[in-house]
Structure formats: structure tokens, C-alpha cells
Amino acid sequence: MRAPPPGLRAVTRAPLRGARWSASASALGFAALGLAPSVQPILSRLGFQEPTPVQRQSFEPILSGGDTVVLAETGSGKTLAYALPIIHMMLAESGGESGPDSRRFESSRKQALLLQPNRELCKQARDTIDRIGPSVGISVSSLMEHDADVDADILIATPTIAIRSWRGPDRIRWLVLDEADALLAGTFKPAGRSQYPVEQIIAAMKLDGKRKAEADGTARSPAHYVRGEERQIQKAATWGSKQFLFVGATMPNAGTKNMEGHVRTKFPTAQWVRTEGAHHERAELRQFFVKVEQEQRDAALRHALEHGPPGPALVFANTLDSAKQAYAALSDGPAERPSGLFHSQVHPEARAALLSAFAAGEVQVLVCTGLASRGIDFADVAHVVQYQVAPNAVEFMHRIGRTARAGKGGTSTCLYDEGTADLAELLRDATERGEPIDKLFSRKRSLRARIKKQGRQGLDEAVGMADDA
């Protein structure tokens, strides 16, 4: 990367021990996990020789049948971390049958419902699981598609589409909330939450599980597990045969968006799996923070792209209008690169075409709103530029998580102004210290006001306030 403009500050830190995943990070293969033998050669053919840390850590807890929260950094292989144990359990219940021509289960066959925040992530999850499931007799269907099969073994949908399309909770054994904090976001007031499709699905699953448990005499009260050490010792599910899995790269744990507290309250016996890299910037990521005046922003964007690493680049903006401004700014540069504009108002088919063109290199710079920040597995993104700093630490983590994936290197450039300096500089300082950003999840005005009043010397006190929020 060539010499940066004045005001640019690079952030470097020592690699996070244990955060990088590769074949050398583990001497254990999928066989050592106890994964069904019929699945192992398929993974090998797909190039998956060793489980990633999150896949190793999640397999046994999910296999135990209890509710599980999986928290791991972006690009760490979370989809397979929950899909493989589910496929394993489905095969075990079928008596080990495998192969694409295997007899389908009877009507009693239990299904998995995987919920995603948007259409793009539904397609991505289906593409990933579809490379494995059908080869061992496990059918996969996205309810977002016109040819959806509601009787498939693994169903994938957004909550709104799922609740319109499913046959009810009776056959659903596994409910997975991928990008769980996004799916659960909203008010914590019971009257408000009860209107959310995701909460209606959870409630229906719990009720069905409790009724079946009461019918066969295995029902237990969740209150039995929340006192003393029994909460940690008991792993039995409290919802009968239902299993709830919450998966994500971030789980806000402070302030008015304390999603971790919400999950712990509603699922008190859930086992938490958290990798060492969770809520950390990836060790392979090189970061730059650039403070700019508003009139300098377009030029700074072009400079970052022209002098940054070669390869595909993502540009993030906070609003549709800002994204359009950034997109227009790229056409004024001396060395224009093919670019595209990706946001929710683009037709789904056009969005899919844009993602395909970006993956093929036909589009080299994709200007995005927050729609593209979560979960989409962009391959080999070299550079992420935040045209505007993310509005919160959670969004920041998801944006920079689009690069430096699967042990590869990447670069992030964050443009910020005086109005957003408080959050940007807190993020920069946390990165320099090699600290997780949990303490920055709070967005309370009192935190920002304290920083502005006391300057950088008040950082530790301000972070302490976030701890107490």
C-alpha cells in the first residue's frame, strides 16, 4: 500500500493466538469428531480436510441435544458448524442410510428450520448445505424459491416467509437462528416482541415441545435449572425434543440492545460456545483509520481504492443516499474500476446478478449499504472501505469481517469525521490494544458525551461505564 494521505493512521497489533484457522491449527480431522462416515469423503472432495475451531468446539455441544449459542468471528465456518451435527443426527435417526437414492423418511421424519435475515443469506446457506446433504439422502430447500419443498429435511427461510410457508412446529426438531442478533433485534417489551415472526416461531416451537414432553412424561420446568450450579451441570433441553441453536459473529451484551442477556433469560440452560477470536478484529486484517472533512470524503474514497491492495473491494455507506454518492464519486476517479451499487431497493434477481458479477471479477468495486455487511461469504475481498464509519460497533465488526477470511489477509480503511470521531477512535484504540469490542456495544448517549467532554483521557472511565450498562 503506497504512502497514505495526511491524517491516516494505521493500526497494527500482534496476531491473536489461536484465532487463525488452517490445516496446521488442528491435528484432528472430521473423523475424530465422530462425524458420520458417509459425510467425511464428501467434505474431503469439497476441500475441507480439517474442522475449523468453531466446528470442533460446536460439534459435541450441539450433538448433546441441548440449546446452544455459537459465537465466532466472521469467516470461521459457522454454517457447517451447525449443519454438520444436524446432518449427523438426521442420519443417525435414519439408521445410517446414505446416498442420493436413499429412501426418504416417513412423515415422522424430523426437520430442521434455518432462519436467516435476508434472501442473500438464505441462498448462501442453501448453496453450502446443498453440496453435502443430498449426497447422503438429506434434502434441502429454500422457502424463498418458487419451487420450495416444505417437506424437505432442511428448510431455509427468513422468519416472515417461514411462518407463512411452514406446516407448523410439529415436525421441526431443530430451529437455527443464523445471524441471531439481527433476527432477534427489536424491542424487548413483551407486547412488541410477540408481533415479530421470529418470536412467533420460537413460541410455537416451545409450546409444541412442552406439550409433547408433558404427554410422554418427560417435561421439566426451566426454573429447575436456573439456580446454583445446576444451571451449568444440567444440559437437558427444557423444550422436550426441540433444540434451539443461536449462531452469530456478534452478540451485543450491553445497553438497550443487550441481546446476550435476552437469550440467557429466555434460554437459561443453553450452552455457550465462543471461539477465542469472537468480537475481535481478525489477526490477518490490516486496518487504517482516516479522519476527513466532509468535502474530502469522495477524494479520500478514491485515494483508498487507488492506493490500496489490488483485488475486489467493498465500499460501505450508512444510507442509500450516501451509497449513491459514493458510487457517483467512483466515476470521477482517474482510474475507474468497474463498480456496482448493492442495496435493498435493487430487485432480488439484480442483486443476485451483482453478487455473481462481483465473484467473477466483472465488478471490482461493490458499493453497499448494511445489507451486504452480514454473513455473505464474499470470496477473496482484498479491501473494505467504510465511506462512513458504521453507526455502531456491531455493524463495524460485520463490515470488516467481509475481508481477511479463512486465514487470508485483508485491508480495512475507515473514513470518519468529527461527528463520528468518538466511536471511530474507540474502535481504533480497542484494535491497537488487541481487545475485544464487547465494551463498545453500548450506544448510550452518556458514553459518547463523557468521551467528548473529557477527551481521550476519559476513555477508560467511559468504557467502564459501558461495563456497568
Per-residue pLDDT of the chain (469 residues; tens, 9 = 90+): 444 444 555 554 433 333 333 333 333 589 999 999 999 999 999 999 899 999 999 999 999 999 999 998 877 789 999 999 999 999 998 775 444 444 444 456 899 999 999 888 899 899 999 999 999 999 999 999 988 999 999 999 999 999 999 999 999 999 999 989 889 988 888 888 889 999 999 999 999 998 988 887 665 544 333 334 444 334 444 567 899 999 988 787 766 667 888 899 999 999 999 887 654 555 578 889 999 999 999 999 999 999 888 889 999 999 999 999 999 999 776 556 888 998 888 888 888 888 889 888 899 999 998 777 665 667 688 999 999 998 888 788 888 888 876 667 889 999 999 988 888 888 888 877 777 665 565 544 334 444 444 444 444 444 443 333 3
Q: How far is C-alpha 166 from the geometric centre of its chain's CA atoms?
A: 24
Domains of the chain, by residue range, sit at 8-15+280-436, 23-274
Rounded CA gap, 428 and 24, in Å? 30
Checking phi first, is residue 328 left (phi over 0); if not, alpha (psi -120 to 50) or beta?
alpha
Burial class for 146, CB neighbours closer than 10 Å (0-12, 13-18, 19+) = exposed
- The three cell numbers of residue 20 are 487463525
CA–CA gap between residue 173 and residue 373 (Å, rounded): 30
Q: Is the pTM of this model over 0.85?
A: no
pLDDT for the residue 406: 63
pLDDT at residue 380 in the model: 81
Residue 366 to residue 317: CA distance in whole angstroms: 11
Amino acid identity of residue 282, one-letter, is: R
Q: How far is CA 167 from the centre of its chain?
A: 27
Question: CA 452, CA 438: separation in Å to the nearest integer?
Answer: 20
Strands 285-291 and 8-11: antiparallel
DSSP codes joined into one string, 315-371: EE-SSHHHHHHHHHHHTTSSS---EEEE-TTS-HHHHHHHHHHHHHTS--EEEE-GG
**Highest CATH level, class, for 23-274:** alpha beta
Give the pLDDT of residue 37.
94
Q: Which residue has the cell 449426497?
A: 135
Beta carbons of 213 and 192 less than 8 angstroms apart: no
C-alpha torsion sign, points 290, 295, 301, 303:
negative
User: Which residues, including other chains, have CB under 8 Å from residue 420's CB and lie 6 or more apart?
Assistant: 388, 389
- The highest-level CATH class for domain 8-15+280-436 is alpha beta
CA distance 373 to 388: 13
pLDDT at 109: 84
Position 242 scores a pLDDT of 94
Is the fold of 8-15+280-436 the same as that of 23-274? yes
List, in order, residues 6 or more apart from 403 with CB less than 8 Å away.
285, 314, 378, 381, 382, 383, 384, 410, 411, 412
